[in-house]
Amino acid sequence: EFGDPDDPETPNAWFNLKTINYSAKLNLYTSSNWKTSIGVSGMYQTNENKAEEVLIPEYNLFDVGAFVFTQYHKDKTTFSGGIRFDNRHIDSKELIEGTDVKFDAFTKNFADVAGSAGLSYEATKALTLKLNLARGFRAPNLAELASNGAHEGTIRYEIGDHNLKAENSLQIDGGFEMSSDHVSFSAAAFYNHINNFIFYRKVLSSSGGDSTLIDPDTGALLTVFKFNQQTANLYGTELSLDIHPHPLDWLHFENTFSFTRAQFSETIDGTKNVPFIPAAQFITALKGNFLSNGRFVRNLYLGIESDYTFKHTHPFTGYNTETATSDYWLVDITAGTDIVRRNKTLFSIHLSALNIGDVAYQNHLSRLKYAAVNNVTGRQGVFNMGRNFGIKLNVPLDFKWN
């Protein structure tokens, strides 16, 4: 990535990242009811910094994991379960800029066991019940462990902590699915307890305001963030309703509602709310499919979608990290079809009109929400895209080799 448009041949940021992934799996079919798999997977990764701007250090990383998974099915009951062991080894290299140490050298090993067990029961032809229990594990990534630089994409300066521990979690979730010829409904809920949950927060100055730095390359004012850990509890639900009434089998009326809430086990600077949690959302879509066997025009569809995102009233206000986010309502329209000749698709065309109300809105998960005030509009932060139109043309190519 170049930093000077007058000198595009000189990179400003260049992470020479090389990754080798590997995996091997053996499927064991011991009986008609049992299906079992065992295997290993992982990766080897190296990073070299070949430009002046450096956000993370050079490093070597090696992941190895071994797992076994089994599934049992009989009559109306399906049981599945698995266990996996993972180990991550990281060698991070020192970097000295002038007389200052930008990155300390360190070596880390993270190892733990994850597993899950799930049960599905077909109570009736129309009703299926599900229950799952899982233990999770996640090693911190290099950005969380060792960042020390300007992250231009988020307009902030990030500081990692190589003393971070691996996250581990215990989750229970359950739900049910009901379906008939014309209506489908599903509901699910989860609760997740996470130890050593990794999150970011602002760093405050000695005066109590935001700690800021000036990017020496761009002159931009960057807010300083650092990574911390704390025990967190997350819970939420998702509801889905799909109506396709008879005799209007071509019509689909789909509705989805999702909600997630997260809190720390202890108060952090006056709040227990966890950062970077999405707001509740309700999506409704009405779609019609026509001409499935048309002579020249086939698979025509028309759709309209309503996306209402609720106001986010539980931001992580500790250290002035987050603020509440207003609700917004978006409406999208889509259409498309296949053009056919002699029973062969010549091309497909898809049209879209997104955010047709040209609503000015910000997603709570957008880090650009906290950018500086726009002098033209007088509003703080970068807003999401307004009204926009799109057209996509797909042309299938069929090559025959003699």
**pLDDT tens-place values along the chain, 402 residues long:** 545 555 555 556 677 899 999 999 999 987 889 999 999 999 999 999 887 778 889 999 999 999 999 999 999 999 999 999 999 999 999 998 888 889 999 999 999 999 999 999 999 999 999 999 999 999 999 999 999 988 777 788 999 999 999 999 999 999 999 999 899 999 999 999 999 999 999 998 888 888 988 876 677 788 999 999 999 999 999 999 999 888 888 899 999 999 999 999 999 999 999 999 999 999 999 999 998 888 899 999 999 999 999 999 999 999 999 999 999 999 999 999 999 998 899 999 999 999 999 999 999 999 899 988 888 888 889 999 999 999 999 999 887 776
What's the confidence (pLDDT) of residue 6?
A: 59
Which tokens go with 350? 């898809």
Collect contacts of 126-130 with beta carbons under 8 A, ≥24 apart. Answer: 126/178, 126/179, 126/180, 127/176, 127/177, 127/178, 128/176, 128/177, 128/178, 129/174, 129/175, 129/176, 130/174, 130/175, 130/176, 130/177, 130/188
What's the confidence (pLDDT) of residue 228?
A: 97
Which candidate, 165, 171, 76, 38, places its Cα nearest to that of 117? 171
- The structural domain count of the chain equals 1
Q: Output the domain CATH number for residue 140.
A: 2.40.170.20
Which tokens go with 390? 């799109």
The upper half-sphere exposure of residue 174, i.e. CA atoms within 13 Å in the direction of its Cβ, equals: 6
**Residue 153 resides in a domain:** yes
Measure Cα distances from 355 to 308, 312, 363, 387 in Å.
12, 20, 14, 5
What's the confidence (pLDDT) of residue 10?
A: 57
Residues in the chain: 402
Which candidate, 266, 271, 187, places its Cα nearest to that of 233? 266
Q: Cα(51)–Cα(95) distance, rounded to whole angstroms? A: 13
Taking the complete model, does pTM exceed 0.95, yes or no? Answer: no
**Residue 383 resides in a domain:** yes
What's the confidence (pLDDT) of residue 9?
A: 57
Which tokens go with 306? 């309503």
- Residue 370 is classified by DSSP as G
**Residue 7 resides in a domain:** no
**Residue 401 resides in a domain:** no
What's the confidence (pLDDT) of residue 402?
A: 62
**Residue 308 resides in a domain:** yes
**Residue 10 resides in a domain:** no
Which candidate, 219, 217, 220, 221, places its Cα nearest to that of 7? 217
**Residue 402 resides in a domain:** no
Q: What domain range is 25 assigned to?
A: 15-394
